[in-house]
Amino acid sequence: MVRQTYSTDILILGSGGAGLFAALHAHKSAPELSITVAVKGLLGKCGCTRMVQGGYNVALAKEDSVERHFMDTIEGGKWLPDQDLAWKLVTLAIERIHELENELGCFFDRNPDGTVHQKAFAGQTFDRTVHKGDLTGIEIINRLAEQVWARRIQRLEEHRAVELVTTPDRSAIAGVLFIDMRTGGYVLVRAKAVLLATGGGPTMYRYHTPSGDKSCDGLAMALRAGLKLRDMEMVQFHPTGLLAGAHTRMTGTVLEEGLRGSGGFLLGGNKERFMPAYDPKAERATRDFVSRAMFTEMRKGNTTPHGGLYIAMAHLGPERVRREFKGMVERCADCGFDLAGGLVEVVPTAHYMMGGVEFAADCTTALPGLFVAGEDSGGVHGANRLGGNGVANSTVFGAVAGDVMAAWVRKHPHREADENQARAAIEACEAPFARARGDLEAVREALYSTMWERVGIIRDRAGLERALAELDAMDAELERSGIGSHERAFNLTWHDWLNLRSLVSVSRSIARAALAREDSRGAHFREDFPEPGALESSAFTSIGVDGRVAMKPVAFTRVRPGQSLLKHAA
């Protein structure tokens, strides 16, 4: 069934900030190597790095420091981040931002004195977010893609990875099986080193922000390959997703945090403010807190016609709002809302997965030859990701992975790929062609409801147990469902089926990890366990394909709860 087989030294899955940085660094370290970037969409046009609005956190200013960025990351992550990973993030972000500007050609906004402009983002004690207006991701990805196109780096576009293929004894990675989406044929790419950089993405929730090409395929493949995922219960919700009705993809997209930051009000369906009753900081409280308050109001039934809440900006002066939030005003106008002078319906929206594959600071994983970087990886952010630390994470660890893989492949040969495993993976992908057409829309709706209502912003044991039973039922339904066609080229119903398969599998890991964590930290809130627990004995969840969750102690390698690197530095 495999129509084509290729060989490459380094195979990179995904072309976001992590994948493209890895390709450029691997090429720089070892230009003689063959490097292939394989991606579900078109290189430079897909994934979430392109969608980055706010910007990139990096300690550049004289008054700022990596210690301060580190402490913000650890405290924001509620003491669950892996401290060595977080340290690598904050220290190497400085190198990467200089590389982006001085070698790769990015233009970031500057102050009148020529220094790079850095703006405020929630949860940080210093204004350290570098940006290009509110379209920072397009600037970064366009420049990275141009540099990749200019080099001898192979591309497999519209190639969907479906299985990490190991050696017959499953002791190391040997390659990856793909579907060439343009033909529907199977392609096996043998590689000495593989980078998983498919960007996670919580698109199993009714309201979500990430790009539609992301369906947690990488995490689902990692589970099947025997890897452990950590912090899977930690799903970040952004408070202000646009709510424009069920039948537009604009629903769920982000209205930026600056709206609340600059004084915007959140109103219930009764058109009254509710945040002051929840927190003295009202609308300026952190993302997790505001999302929880919003969800509580929605559960009380204090909702707008579409079942959400309102954001109001008019009291700041419509002219000012139009001037300062041009992009947001236009986005709302496209959906029939007047942000500057009227009310806009909003809802908390699933934004980012802090959880992912367990990995070391050199991007290695438990499977020799398999590396991970970006949103597919777990442990950098702990219970919460600071706005601006996401793109820093993908570029920093993408570059690390590129350097490390280049050295790795010089020492390691191609390995034999397990043909039985590849055959079984193809059979699993082919299965829906042999069945009567099922109702995939119904499965998707069920998934959205289960994850939003029971595994979302507010959780408890009964709801999570029910969710797990519902996810089992969805899995069984998928296993019965066919796609009603034998066409393979660009068969989007087939890819929908494959997307749902990955999403249901990863949703189970989220629900099981959420059930195992009997406390409330950052993005994870249990109504039946509302306290954070002792920070000194902090543990993270670790889950494998068997669904069993281990609680592993966090190693405080640099600073312990109650201490600060800043105090030590002083």
Ligand X SMILES: Cc1cc2nc3c(=O)[nH]c(=O)nc-3n(C[C@H](O)[C@H](O)[C@H](O)COP(=O)(O)OP(=O)(O)OC[C@H]3O[C@@H](n4cnc5c(N)ncnc54)[C@H](O)[C@@H]3O)c2cc1C
Cα(517)–Cα(231) distance, integer angstroms: 10
Is 92 a binder of ligand X (CB under 6 A)?
Answer: no
For the bound state, the minimum distance from the C-beta of residue 56 to ligand X, rounded and expressed in Å, comes to 6
Is 175 a binder of ligand X (CB under 6 A)?
Answer: no
Active site residue 292: no
Q: What residues contact residue 424 under an 8 Å CB cut-off, 6+ apart?
A: none
Beta strands in 167-205 (DSSP E): 173-180, 185-196
Is 197 a binder of ligand X (CB under 6 A)?
Answer: yes
Active site residue 238: yes
Catalytic one of 131, 159, 260, 287: 260
Residue of the chain from 364, 394, 505, 542 that contacts ligand X (CB under 6 A): 394
Q: Using alpha carbons, select from 6, 13, 5, 26 the residue that is nearest to residue 148.
A: 26
Residue of the chain from 11, 23, 38, 195 that contacts ligand X (CB under 6 A): 38
Residue of the chain from 180, 213, 358, 470 that contacts ligand X (CB under 6 A): 213
Q: Indicate the residue among 391 and 511 with the shorter CB distance to ligand X.
A: 391
Quick count: other Cβ atoms within 10 Å of Cβ 88?
Answer: 19
Cα(244)–Cα(250) distance, integer angstroms: 7
Cα(560)–Cα(539) distance, integer angstroms: 13
Q: What residues contact residue 240 under an 8 Å CB cut-off, 6+ apart?
A: 254, 255, 256, 257, 259, 260, 311, 346, 348, 349
DSSP secondary structure letter of residue 78: T
Q: Which stretch binds ligand X (CB under 6 A): 213-221, 267-275, 286-294, 439-447?
A: 213-221
Q: Which stretch binds ligand X (CB under 6 A): 7-15, 164-172, 240-248, 339-347?
A: 7-15
Cα(43)–Cα(23) distance, integer angstroms: 12
Q: Which stretch binds ligand X (CB under 6 A): 50-58, 182-190, 294-302, 539-547?
A: 50-58
Residue of the chain from 12, 19, 118, 542 that contacts ligand X (CB under 6 A): 19
Residue of the chain from 8, 11, 12, 14 that contacts ligand X (CB under 6 A): 14
For the bound state, the minimum distance from the C-beta of residue 98 to ligand X, rounded and expressed in Å, comes to 17
Q: Indicate the residue among 210 and 456 with the shorter CB distance to ligand X.
A: 210
Nearest residue relative to ligand X (C-beta): 16
Q: What residues contact residue 527 under an 8 Å CB cut-off, 6+ apart?
A: 458, 459, 460
- Binding map of ligand X across residues 58-87, x = CB under 6 A, - = no contact: ------------------------------
Is 26 a binder of ligand X (CB under 6 A)?
Answer: no
Catalytic one of 68, 238, 415, 501: 238
**245-253 contacts: CB < 8 A, separation 24 or more?**
245/306, 248/335, 249/212, 250/331, 250/334, 250/335, 251/207, 251/347, 252/206, 252/207, 252/208, 252/209, 252/347, 252/349, 252/350, 253/209, 253/331, 253/349
Query: Which residues of this protein are in contact with ligand X, per CB under 6 A?
Result: 13-19, 38-41, 46-49, 51-55, 160-161, 197-199, 209-210, 213-214, 217, 254, 352, 374-375, 387-391, 394
Provide the annotated active-site residues.
238, 260
